[in-house]
Structure 1
Amino acid sequence: MMAIRIYGDAGSGSLRRVTTAAKIMGIELERMAVDLFKGESRTDEFKARLNPHGLTPVLVDDGTVLYEASAINLYLADKVNSPLAGRTAEERFQVLQWMFWSGEQWRSFTTTLFDERVGKAVMGLAKDEALVGFAEGKLRAAATVLDRHLDGRTFMVGQALTLADIDVAAPFSQVDRAKFPFKDYPNLFAWHDNLLRSFPAWAETKAEVDHRMDSFLASVGVTL
Protein backbone atom coordinates (compact mmCIF):
# COMPACT_ATOMS: atom_id res chain seq x y z
CA MET A 1 0.00 0.00 0.00
CA MET A 2 1.26 3.47 -0.86
CA ALA A 3 2.12 5.79 1.98
CA ILE A 4 -0.20 8.69 2.66
CA ARG A 5 1.52 11.72 1.18
CA ILE A 6 1.08 15.30 2.35
CA TYR A 7 2.27 18.16 0.16
CA GLY A 8 3.12 21.44 1.86
CA ASP A 9 5.61 24.03 3.06
CA ALA A 10 7.14 23.72 6.53
CA GLY A 11 6.36 27.40 7.16
CA SER A 12 2.64 26.86 6.72
CA GLY A 13 0.29 26.97 9.69
CA SER A 14 -2.21 24.97 7.65
CA LEU A 15 0.28 22.16 7.06
CA ARG A 16 1.06 22.34 10.78
CA ARG A 17 -2.58 21.54 11.58
CA VAL A 18 -2.33 18.32 9.56
CA THR A 19 1.10 17.17 10.72
CA THR A 20 0.18 17.79 14.36
CA ALA A 21 -3.11 15.91 14.11
CA ALA A 22 -1.44 13.02 12.28
CA LYS A 23 1.26 12.71 14.96
CA ILE A 24 -1.34 12.68 17.73
CA MET A 25 -3.39 10.05 15.87
CA GLY A 26 -0.32 7.91 15.18
CA ILE A 27 -0.66 8.25 11.40
CA GLU A 28 2.58 8.30 9.43
CA LEU A 29 2.68 10.78 6.57
CA GLU A 30 5.22 11.00 3.79
CA ARG A 31 6.12 14.68 3.60
CA MET A 32 6.40 16.15 0.11
CA ALA A 33 8.04 19.57 0.28
CA VAL A 34 6.40 22.37 -1.72
CA ASP A 35 8.24 25.69 -1.58
CA LEU A 36 5.49 28.30 -1.47
CA PHE A 37 8.01 31.15 -1.63
CA LYS A 38 9.25 29.84 -4.98
CA GLY A 39 5.71 29.44 -6.31
CA GLU A 40 5.89 25.65 -6.54
CA SER A 41 2.17 25.27 -5.76
CA ARG A 42 1.17 27.65 -8.56
CA THR A 43 2.55 25.68 -11.50
CA ASP A 44 0.16 24.33 -14.11
CA GLU A 45 1.24 20.79 -13.23
CA PHE A 46 0.52 21.24 -9.50
CA LYS A 47 -2.87 22.82 -10.20
CA ALA A 48 -3.85 20.08 -12.64
CA ARG A 49 -2.71 17.18 -10.45
CA LEU A 50 -3.21 18.35 -6.87
CA ASN A 51 -5.14 21.57 -6.24
CA PRO A 52 -6.58 23.89 -8.90
CA HIS A 53 -6.39 26.76 -6.40
CA GLY A 54 -2.60 26.45 -6.21
CA LEU A 55 -2.63 26.08 -2.44
CA THR A 56 -1.33 23.60 0.13
CA PRO A 57 -1.59 21.32 2.04
CA VAL A 58 -2.80 18.54 -0.24
CA LEU A 59 -3.20 14.91 0.78
CA VAL A 60 -2.78 12.00 -1.62
CA ASP A 61 -3.87 8.56 -0.38
CA ASP A 62 -3.98 5.96 -3.17
CA GLY A 63 -6.63 7.45 -5.49
CA THR A 64 -7.83 10.11 -3.07
CA VAL A 65 -6.61 13.67 -3.56
CA LEU A 66 -7.87 16.09 -0.90
CA TYR A 67 -7.12 19.71 -0.11
CA GLU A 68 -8.15 22.04 2.76
CA ALA A 69 -6.49 21.17 6.08
CA SER A 70 -9.77 20.77 7.96
CA ALA A 71 -11.10 18.25 5.43
CA ILE A 72 -7.77 16.41 5.47
CA ASN A 73 -7.85 16.12 9.26
CA LEU A 74 -11.42 14.83 9.23
CA TYR A 75 -10.42 12.29 6.57
CA LEU A 76 -7.48 11.09 8.67
CA ALA A 77 -9.60 10.93 11.83
CA ASP A 78 -12.17 8.84 9.98
CA LYS A 79 -9.50 6.39 8.82
CA VAL A 80 -8.51 5.54 12.40
CA ASN A 81 -11.80 6.36 14.19
CA SER A 82 -9.98 9.03 16.20
CA PRO A 83 -11.58 10.81 19.16
CA LEU A 84 -10.05 14.03 17.78
CA ALA A 85 -13.24 14.27 15.70
CA GLY A 86 -15.34 14.07 18.89
CA ARG A 87 -16.23 11.28 21.27
CA THR A 88 -20.02 11.42 20.94
CA ALA A 89 -22.43 12.49 18.21
CA GLU A 90 -23.04 15.77 20.03
CA GLU A 91 -19.31 16.42 20.41
CA ARG A 92 -18.73 15.68 16.73
CA PHE A 93 -21.18 18.37 15.69
CA GLN A 94 -19.66 20.84 18.15
CA VAL A 95 -16.22 20.07 16.73
CA LEU A 96 -17.55 20.72 13.22
CA GLN A 97 -19.24 23.92 14.39
CA TRP A 98 -15.95 25.34 15.68
CA MET A 99 -13.98 24.12 12.67
CA PHE A 100 -16.40 25.89 10.31
CA TRP A 101 -16.45 28.96 12.57
CA SER A 102 -12.66 29.03 12.58
CA GLY A 103 -12.54 29.13 8.80
CA GLU A 104 -15.16 31.85 8.41
CA GLN A 105 -14.83 34.09 11.47
CA TRP A 106 -11.24 33.60 12.60
CA ARG A 107 -8.53 32.37 10.23
CA SER A 108 -9.76 34.37 7.25
CA PHE A 109 -8.96 37.59 9.13
CA THR A 110 -5.64 36.37 10.56
CA THR A 111 -4.66 35.43 6.99
CA THR A 112 -5.49 38.97 5.84
CA LEU A 113 -3.33 40.46 8.60
CA PHE A 114 -0.50 38.06 7.78
CA ASP A 115 -0.67 39.02 4.11
CA GLU A 116 -0.63 42.73 4.93
CA ARG A 117 2.01 42.70 7.67
CA VAL A 118 4.30 39.91 6.52
CA GLY A 119 3.55 39.20 2.87
CA LYS A 120 3.71 42.83 1.82
CA ALA A 121 6.88 43.42 3.86
CA VAL A 122 8.53 40.58 1.91
CA MET A 123 7.34 42.08 -1.38
CA GLY A 124 8.35 45.61 -0.39
CA LEU A 125 4.80 46.91 -0.63
CA ALA A 126 2.96 49.31 1.65
CA LYS A 127 0.26 47.93 3.93
CA ASP A 128 -3.37 48.80 3.21
CA GLU A 129 -4.10 50.41 6.58
CA ALA A 130 -7.86 50.41 6.02
CA LEU A 131 -7.79 46.68 5.35
CA VAL A 132 -5.57 46.09 8.38
CA GLY A 133 -8.02 48.01 10.56
CA PHE A 134 -11.02 46.11 9.17
CA ALA A 135 -9.38 42.69 9.65
CA GLU A 136 -8.14 43.51 13.14
CA GLY A 137 -11.62 44.70 14.16
CA LYS A 138 -13.14 41.44 12.92
CA LEU A 139 -10.41 39.46 14.65
CA ARG A 140 -10.95 41.23 17.96
CA ALA A 141 -14.70 40.56 17.75
CA ALA A 142 -13.99 36.85 17.18
CA ALA A 143 -11.34 36.76 19.94
CA THR A 144 -13.87 38.25 22.37
CA VAL A 145 -16.23 35.35 21.60
CA LEU A 146 -13.42 32.83 22.03
CA ASP A 147 -12.26 34.38 25.28
CA ARG A 148 -15.76 34.05 26.76
CA HIS A 149 -16.13 30.49 25.46
CA LEU A 150 -12.79 29.45 26.96
CA ASP A 151 -13.51 30.88 30.42
CA GLY A 152 -13.14 27.88 32.72
CA ARG A 153 -12.39 25.51 29.84
CA THR A 154 -9.23 23.64 28.96
CA PHE A 155 -10.43 22.61 25.49
CA MET A 156 -12.77 23.99 22.84
CA VAL A 157 -15.13 21.00 23.06
CA GLY A 158 -15.57 18.55 25.91
CA GLN A 159 -12.75 17.48 28.19
CA ALA A 160 -10.05 16.56 25.68
CA LEU A 161 -8.21 17.81 22.62
CA THR A 162 -10.15 17.78 19.35
CA LEU A 163 -9.67 19.05 15.81
CA ALA A 164 -11.54 22.18 16.92
CA ASP A 165 -8.59 23.10 19.15
CA ILE A 166 -6.12 22.53 16.32
CA ASP A 167 -8.10 24.67 13.87
CA VAL A 168 -8.63 27.55 16.29
CA ALA A 169 -5.00 27.41 17.45
CA ALA A 170 -3.65 27.61 13.89
CA PRO A 171 -3.13 31.42 13.79
CA PHE A 172 -0.77 31.19 16.77
CA SER A 173 1.70 29.81 14.20
CA GLN A 174 2.25 33.37 12.97
CA VAL A 175 1.13 35.37 16.03
CA ASP A 176 4.42 37.18 16.62
CA ARG A 177 5.28 37.80 12.97
CA ALA A 178 1.82 39.15 12.06
CA LYS A 179 1.27 40.79 15.47
CA PHE A 180 -2.15 39.36 16.24
CA PRO A 181 -3.52 40.92 19.47
CA PHE A 182 -4.09 37.61 21.25
CA LYS A 183 -2.36 38.65 24.49
CA ASP A 184 -5.28 41.02 25.09
CA TYR A 185 -7.48 37.94 25.65
CA PRO A 186 -6.24 36.07 28.75
CA ASN A 187 -8.42 32.95 28.48
CA LEU A 188 -7.47 32.51 24.82
CA PHE A 189 -3.79 32.97 25.55
CA ALA A 190 -3.86 30.58 28.54
CA TRP A 191 -5.70 27.94 26.49
CA HIS A 192 -3.06 28.04 23.78
CA ASP A 193 -0.22 28.06 26.31
CA ASN A 194 -1.69 24.86 27.74
CA LEU A 195 -1.76 23.25 24.28
CA LEU A 196 1.95 23.97 23.82
CA ARG A 197 2.78 22.52 27.24
CA SER A 198 0.48 19.50 27.04
CA PHE A 199 0.93 18.30 23.45
CA PRO A 200 4.53 17.84 22.30
CA ALA A 201 3.40 17.52 18.67
CA TRP A 202 2.04 21.09 18.74
CA ALA A 203 5.29 22.42 20.21
CA GLU A 204 7.39 20.43 17.70
CA THR A 205 5.50 21.80 14.71
CA LYS A 206 5.76 25.33 16.15
CA ALA A 207 9.54 24.98 16.12
CA GLU A 208 9.41 23.76 12.52
CA VAL A 209 7.27 26.71 11.36
CA ASP A 210 9.44 29.19 13.27
CA HIS A 211 12.66 27.85 11.77
CA ARG A 212 11.30 27.89 8.23
CA MET A 213 9.78 31.38 8.49
CA ASP A 214 12.65 32.98 10.37
CA SER A 215 15.23 31.50 7.98
CA PHE A 216 13.30 32.73 4.96
CA LEU A 217 12.79 36.25 6.34
CA ALA A 218 16.49 36.48 7.20
CA SER A 219 17.42 35.28 3.69
CA VAL A 220 15.47 38.15 2.09
CA GLY A 221 16.60 40.70 4.68
CA VAL A 222 13.16 41.37 6.18
CA THR A 223 12.83 42.35 9.84
CA LEU A 224 9.28 42.54 11.10
Structure 2
Amino acid sequence: MAIKIYGDPGSGSRRRVTAAAAAMGINIEIVNIDLFKGESHTPEFLELNPHGLSPVMVDGDFVLYESAAINLYLAEKAGSDLAGRTTEERFQVLQWMFWSGEQWRIYATLTFDEVLGKKFMGQSADETIIKLAADKIRAAAAVLDAHLAKHDYIVGDRLTLADFDIAGPFSQNERTKIPLNDFPNLVAWQQRLLTDVASWAATKREVDERIDGALAAAGVKL
Protein backbone atom coordinates (compact mmCIF):
# COMPACT_ATOMS: atom_id res chain seq x y z
CA MET A 1 0.00 0.00 0.00
CA ALA A 2 1.44 3.34 -1.07
CA ILE A 3 2.00 6.12 1.42
CA LYS A 4 -0.70 8.77 1.01
CA ILE A 5 0.09 12.48 0.97
CA TYR A 6 -2.91 14.80 1.37
CA GLY A 7 -2.56 18.39 0.24
CA ASP A 8 -3.36 21.13 -2.23
CA PRO A 9 -1.24 21.17 -5.43
CA GLY A 10 -0.67 24.90 -4.94
CA SER A 11 0.87 24.40 -1.52
CA GLY A 12 4.59 25.06 -1.17
CA SER A 13 4.55 22.77 1.85
CA ARG A 14 3.07 19.89 -0.12
CA ARG A 15 5.62 20.65 -2.81
CA ARG A 16 8.46 20.14 -0.34
CA VAL A 17 7.18 16.66 0.44
CA THR A 18 6.28 15.49 -3.06
CA ALA A 19 9.52 16.81 -4.54
CA ALA A 20 11.62 15.19 -1.82
CA ALA A 21 9.74 11.89 -2.11
CA ALA A 22 10.36 11.82 -5.86
CA ALA A 23 14.05 12.61 -5.35
CA MET A 24 14.28 9.70 -2.90
CA GLY A 25 12.44 7.34 -5.25
CA ILE A 26 9.58 6.82 -2.82
CA ASN A 27 6.23 5.76 -4.23
CA ILE A 28 3.44 7.94 -2.85
CA GLU A 29 -0.25 8.36 -3.59
CA ILE A 30 -1.26 12.01 -3.76
CA VAL A 31 -4.72 12.88 -2.47
CA ASN A 32 -5.69 16.38 -3.58
CA ILE A 33 -7.26 18.64 -0.97
CA ASP A 34 -8.77 21.88 -2.29
CA LEU A 35 -7.88 24.56 0.24
CA PHE A 36 -9.92 27.16 -1.62
CA LYS A 37 -13.05 25.06 -1.10
CA GLY A 38 -12.35 24.51 2.58
CA GLU A 39 -11.63 20.81 2.20
CA SER A 40 -8.91 20.98 4.88
CA HIS A 41 -11.55 21.90 7.46
CA THR A 42 -13.97 19.05 6.93
CA PRO A 43 -14.50 16.77 9.95
CA GLU A 44 -12.72 13.97 8.06
CA PHE A 45 -9.61 16.03 7.38
CA LEU A 46 -9.54 17.51 10.87
CA GLU A 47 -9.29 13.95 12.17
CA LEU A 48 -5.95 13.79 10.34
CA ASN A 49 -4.73 17.27 11.29
CA PRO A 50 -6.74 19.29 13.82
CA HIS A 51 -5.02 22.48 12.58
CA GLY A 52 -6.69 22.11 9.20
CA LEU A 53 -3.37 22.43 7.37
CA SER A 54 -1.71 20.35 4.70
CA PRO A 55 0.15 18.24 3.86
CA VAL A 56 -0.68 15.20 5.91
CA MET A 57 0.92 11.79 5.46
CA VAL A 58 -0.91 8.53 6.07
CA ASP A 59 1.18 5.36 6.09
CA GLY A 60 -1.11 2.53 7.05
CA ASP A 61 -2.36 3.42 10.54
CA PHE A 62 0.33 6.06 11.07
CA VAL A 63 -0.67 9.70 10.52
CA LEU A 64 1.90 12.50 10.46
CA TYR A 65 1.69 16.20 9.66
CA GLU A 66 4.30 18.99 9.28
CA SER A 67 6.33 18.78 6.07
CA ALA A 68 9.72 18.61 7.74
CA ALA A 69 8.66 15.71 9.96
CA ILE A 70 7.13 13.90 6.98
CA ASN A 71 10.33 14.26 4.95
CA LEU A 72 12.47 12.99 7.80
CA TYR A 73 10.14 10.02 8.23
CA LEU A 74 10.26 9.22 4.51
CA ALA A 75 14.06 9.49 4.46
CA GLU A 76 14.41 7.10 7.38
CA LYS A 77 11.94 4.65 5.88
CA ALA A 78 13.77 4.71 2.53
CA GLY A 79 17.26 4.72 4.06
CA SER A 80 17.99 7.90 2.10
CA ASP A 81 21.10 9.97 2.66
CA LEU A 82 19.11 13.16 1.99
CA ALA A 83 18.74 13.30 5.78
CA GLY A 84 22.55 13.23 6.12
CA ARG A 85 25.34 10.71 5.65
CA THR A 86 27.12 11.21 8.97
CA THR A 87 26.03 12.21 12.46
CA GLU A 88 27.44 15.69 11.95
CA GLU A 89 25.74 16.08 8.59
CA ARG A 90 22.40 14.86 9.95
CA PHE A 91 22.49 17.50 12.65
CA GLN A 92 23.44 20.18 10.15
CA VAL A 93 20.42 19.17 8.06
CA LEU A 94 18.25 19.39 11.18
CA GLN A 95 19.78 22.74 12.13
CA TRP A 96 18.82 24.27 8.79
CA MET A 97 15.38 22.66 8.78
CA PHE A 98 14.69 24.13 12.24
CA TRP A 99 16.16 27.45 11.08
CA SER A 100 13.81 27.44 8.11
CA GLY A 101 10.76 27.07 10.31
CA GLU A 102 11.85 29.69 12.84
CA GLN A 103 13.54 32.33 10.69
CA TRP A 104 12.20 31.89 7.20
CA ARG A 105 9.02 30.15 6.08
CA ILE A 106 6.83 31.61 8.80
CA TYR A 107 7.31 35.09 7.36
CA ALA A 108 6.87 33.97 3.76
CA THR A 109 3.60 32.31 4.78
CA LEU A 110 2.50 35.43 6.64
CA THR A 111 3.14 37.48 3.50
CA PHE A 112 1.19 35.00 1.36
CA ASP A 113 -1.76 35.28 3.73
CA GLU A 114 -1.70 39.07 3.55
CA VAL A 115 -0.94 39.57 -0.15
CA LEU A 116 -2.87 36.68 -1.71
CA GLY A 117 -5.08 35.16 0.96
CA LYS A 118 -6.84 38.43 1.72
CA LYS A 119 -7.36 39.17 -1.99
CA PHE A 120 -9.32 35.93 -2.29
CA MET A 121 -11.47 37.10 0.61
CA GLY A 122 -11.92 40.60 -0.80
CA GLN A 123 -9.94 42.16 2.05
CA SER A 124 -7.08 44.65 2.07
CA ALA A 125 -3.60 43.63 3.09
CA ASP A 126 -2.06 45.07 6.24
CA GLU A 127 1.06 46.90 5.01
CA THR A 128 2.52 46.94 8.52
CA ILE A 129 2.50 43.13 8.61
CA ILE A 130 3.95 42.92 5.10
CA LYS A 131 6.83 45.24 6.05
CA LEU A 132 7.52 43.34 9.28
CA ALA A 133 7.67 40.07 7.37
CA ALA A 134 9.86 41.56 4.63
CA ASP A 135 12.33 42.87 7.21
CA LYS A 136 12.54 39.45 8.86
CA ILE A 137 12.99 37.73 5.51
CA ARG A 138 15.77 40.14 4.52
CA ALA A 139 17.62 39.49 7.78
CA ALA A 140 17.40 35.73 7.32
CA ALA A 141 18.19 35.92 3.60
CA ALA A 142 21.38 37.86 4.32
CA VAL A 143 22.61 35.01 6.53
CA LEU A 144 21.63 32.41 3.96
CA ASP A 145 23.15 34.38 1.06
CA ALA A 146 26.49 34.58 2.88
CA HIS A 147 26.36 30.83 3.51
CA LEU A 148 25.55 30.09 -0.14
CA ALA A 149 28.46 32.26 -1.28
CA LYS A 150 30.65 29.36 -0.14
CA HIS A 151 28.38 26.37 -0.83
CA ASP A 152 26.41 25.04 -3.80
CA TYR A 153 23.83 23.49 -1.47
CA ILE A 154 22.75 24.08 2.11
CA VAL A 155 24.62 21.13 3.66
CA GLY A 156 27.63 19.20 2.43
CA ASP A 157 27.62 20.72 -1.06
CA ARG A 158 25.00 18.22 -2.20
CA LEU A 159 21.25 18.00 -2.15
CA THR A 160 19.64 17.27 1.23
CA LEU A 161 16.27 17.73 2.87
CA ALA A 162 17.46 21.13 4.07
CA ASP A 163 17.38 22.40 0.48
CA PHE A 164 13.75 21.39 0.00
CA ASP A 165 12.76 22.94 3.32
CA ILE A 166 14.44 26.28 2.69
CA ALA A 167 13.44 26.49 -0.99
CA GLY A 168 9.73 26.40 -0.16
CA PRO A 169 9.17 30.21 -0.13
CA PHE A 170 10.39 30.40 -3.73
CA SER A 171 7.09 28.73 -4.65
CA GLN A 172 5.27 32.05 -4.29
CA ASN A 173 7.91 34.79 -4.20
CA GLU A 174 7.11 36.15 -7.68
CA ARG A 175 3.49 36.61 -6.63
CA THR A 176 4.01 37.89 -3.11
CA LYS A 177 7.14 39.93 -3.93
CA ILE A 178 9.04 38.81 -0.86
CA PRO A 179 12.59 40.16 -1.33
CA LEU A 180 14.39 36.94 -2.28
CA ASN A 181 15.56 38.21 -5.65
CA ASP A 182 17.72 40.82 -3.88
CA PHE A 183 20.20 38.11 -2.87
CA PRO A 184 22.26 36.77 -5.81
CA ASN A 185 23.63 33.63 -4.17
CA LEU A 186 20.14 32.68 -3.06
CA VAL A 187 18.80 33.16 -6.58
CA ALA A 188 21.67 31.12 -8.07
CA TRP A 189 21.02 28.28 -5.61
CA GLN A 190 17.32 28.23 -6.44
CA GLN A 191 18.11 28.12 -10.17
CA ARG A 192 20.54 25.27 -9.48
CA LEU A 193 17.73 23.30 -7.85
CA LEU A 194 15.41 23.94 -10.79
CA THR A 195 18.11 22.85 -13.24
CA ASP A 196 19.51 19.85 -11.38
CA VAL A 197 16.57 18.47 -9.38
CA ALA A 198 13.86 17.28 -11.76
CA SER A 199 11.21 16.95 -9.06
CA TRP A 200 11.72 20.55 -7.92
CA ALA A 201 11.20 21.82 -11.47
CA ALA A 202 8.13 19.59 -11.96
CA THR A 203 6.49 20.71 -8.74
CA LYS A 204 7.12 24.38 -9.61
CA ARG A 205 5.00 23.87 -12.73
CA GLU A 206 2.34 22.19 -10.60
CA VAL A 207 2.21 25.05 -8.08
CA ASP A 208 2.21 27.71 -10.80
CA GLU A 209 -0.66 26.09 -12.70
CA ARG A 210 -2.71 25.69 -9.54
CA ILE A 211 -2.25 29.18 -8.08
CA ASP A 212 -2.38 31.07 -11.36
CA GLY A 213 -5.52 29.14 -12.28
CA ALA A 214 -7.14 29.92 -8.93
CA LEU A 215 -6.29 33.61 -9.27
CA ALA A 216 -7.75 33.74 -12.76
CA ALA A 217 -10.91 31.87 -11.72
CA ALA A 218 -11.44 34.30 -8.85
CA GLY A 219 -10.75 37.33 -11.03
CA VAL A 220 -7.88 38.33 -8.78
CA LYS A 221 -5.13 40.46 -10.30
CA LEU A 222 -1.80 41.01 -8.62
The answer, yes or no, to whether TM exceeds 0.5 is yes
Structure 1 residue 120, shift from structure 2 partner: 1.0
Structure 1 residue 47, shift from structure 2 partner: 0.8
How far apart in 1 are the matches of 2:176 and 2:85? 34
Q: Deviations over 1:28-67 (max 9, x none)?
A: 111111100000011122112x101111100000111000
User: Mapping of 1:1-224 within 5 angstroms?
Assistant: 2-48=1-47, 50-224=48-222
How far apart in 2 are the matches of 1:147 and 1:173? 18
CA RMSD of aligned residues (A): 0.7
SS in 1 for 2:136: helix
Q: Deviations over 1:165-223 (max 9, x none)?
A: 00000000001111111111011111111110111110000000000000110000011
Q: Deviations over 1:140-179 (max 9, x none)?
A: 0000110111112100000210000000000000011111
Structure 2 counterpart of 1:143, one-letter code:
A
How far apart in 1 are the matches of 2:179 and 2:131? 12
Q: Deviations over 1:52-94 (max 9, x none)?
A: 1111100000111000000000000000110110111100000
Structure 1 counterpart of 2:164, one-letter code:
I
How far apart in 1 are the matches of 2:133 and 2:181? 17
SS in 2 for 1:26: coil
Which blocks of at least 5 consecutive residues in structure 2 are unaligned? none
Which blocks of at least 5 consecutive residues in structure 1 are unaligned? none
SS in 1 for 2:31: strand
SS in 1 for 2:41: coil
How far apart in 2 are the matches of 1:132 and 1:31? 33
SS in 1 for 2:172: helix
SS in 2 for 1:41: helix
How far apart in 2 are the matches of 1:98 and 1:152? 16
**Number of residue pairs matched by the alignment:** 222
How far apart in 1 are the matches of 2:200 and 2:2? 23
Q: 4+ residue stretches of structure 1 with deviation over 6 A? A: none
Structure 1 counterpart of 2:161, one-letter code:
L
SS in 1 for 2:23: helix
Structure 2 counterpart of 1:28, one-letter code:
N
Structure 2 counterpart of 1:161, one-letter code:
L
Q: Deviations over 1:112-163 (max 9, x none)?
A: 1111111111111111111111111111000011011111210000021000
How far apart in 2 are the matches of 1:99 and 1:182? 18
